[in-house]
Amino acid sequence: MLAFIIRRILVGFAMIVVMIFVVFALFFANGNPAINQCGKYCTPEKLDEITGLLGYDKSIPEQFTAFSAGLVVGRDFPVNDEYRAALIENGYENRIIHCAAPCLGYSQSDQKTVNQLLVKAAGPTLSLAIVSFLIWIFFGVLIGVIAAINKGRWLDRVVVGSTLVVYALPVFVIGTFFLQYVAIKWQLYPYPRFEPLKEPADILPWLTGILLPALTLALFFMAAYVRYTRAFVLESMSEDYIRTARSKGLPERTVLFKHGLRSALTPLVTLAGLDFASLLAGAIITESVFNYQGMGALAVKANNNHDLPVLIGLVIVGAAAVIVMNIIVDILYAYIDPRVRVTK
């Protein structure tokens, strides 16, 4: 088992390295990115200065080497006098901004390192992802199991019909309804505002501020996971080992939860891992509806400003999250389904 874990980690690390190279080639090897950061009134002199400051005047291999070195040991970015005041406000005393490893670059438009922007935006997105994930996994699996147990009955038909309606509704429709009616017009719930979780006493304000947006996002996934769970449980309950367990006189609850549900969780783990990783890259629509300044809002802003360093940082973080979650899912397989055997 240990050899398998080490092998999967090494493969994942190799995939991250390849991914970084591909992303760099797509974003930075296509012309001079300084053109997009030069501003509206861009002069040739200003363009040349920004190009030199950010190292875009070097060859592509040199740029990639500097970028890769920044991921390992950090990187320094010189800044011109035009942004001296902004540097002082951000706590820098000279014209050199040091970006600690793993350095993902420097945003000329925001006058901050990409790391600083990502750390600031990670709180709302990570909170939204975790709470919505817990909601849709718990209720999605629970309702799916209930529907599978009552297959063909009125409760099963109500659950399946309801999930179809919820799944068909766009996220922005659900979010707008919660915001405009539940929070503002009817005042059934406090207006959602993100409160940072800095100490245990902040749990209640944090949860109150994040619950409505998380529920908005969770409903969409929960509708899908109800149908997934129902289908997987019905499939596993028709297997031969389930009939064997019943023939031994085991209680139906033991047969369902210890044998049937455990087998049905294997494909759900794959889906849940990938969905959670995609949320870490930013729930753009949900954050836009509730005006949460997370990774989704940062991605929209960077795209509008053509801020390539921020975009490449977001892509790398999102892709790395998917790769890491794949590794975790592979490791969990051996503990969830007894039929899975890991070759050493």
Lowest mean pLDDT among 78-92, 108-122, 185-199, 315-329: 78-92
Rounded Cα distance, 205 and 121, in Å: 18
At 251, list the tokens.
């209680």
- What's the average model confidence in pLDDT over 81-103? 64
pLDDT of 336 reads 65
Kindly list the structural domains of the chain, giving each domain's residue range(s) and its CATH number in brackets, ordered by start: 2-116 (no CATH), 118-336 (1.10.3720.10)
Would you say residue 286 has pLDDT above 80? yes
pLDDT range class, residue 27, cuts 50, 70, 90 = confident
Cα within 13 Å of Cα(144), Cβ side: 27
Task: Name the percent of the chain lying above pLDDT 70.
Answer: 88
Task: Name the percent of the chain lying above pLDDT 90.
Answer: 19
- Average pLDDT in the chain: 82
pLDDT range class, residue 273, cuts 50, 70, 90 = confident
Beta partners for residue 262, in sequence order? none
- What's the average model confidence in pLDDT over 182-202? 88
pTM, 2 dp? 0.82
Rounded Cα distance, 76 and 12, in Å: 28
SS3 of the chain: helix, strand, coil, percent, to 5? 70, 5, 25
Rounded Cα distance, 54 and 103, in Å: 13
- What's the average model confidence in pLDDT over 182-201? 88
Would you say residue 103 has pLDDT above 60? yes
Place of tokens 């921020």: 310
Contacts of 245-252 spanning 24+ positions with Cβ under 8 A = none
- What's the average model confidence in pLDDT over 2-29? 84
Would you say residue 224 has pLDDT above 80? yes
Would you say residue 203 has pLDDT above 80? yes
- What's the average model confidence in pLDDT over 300-324? 86
Q: Is 58 helix (H, G, I), strand (E, B) or coil?
A: coil
- What's the average model confidence in pLDDT over 57-64? 81
pLDDT range class, residue 212, cuts 50, 70, 90 = very high
Would you say residue 139 has pLDDT above 90? yes
pLDDT of 84 reads 52
- What's the average model confidence in pLDDT over 304-326? 86
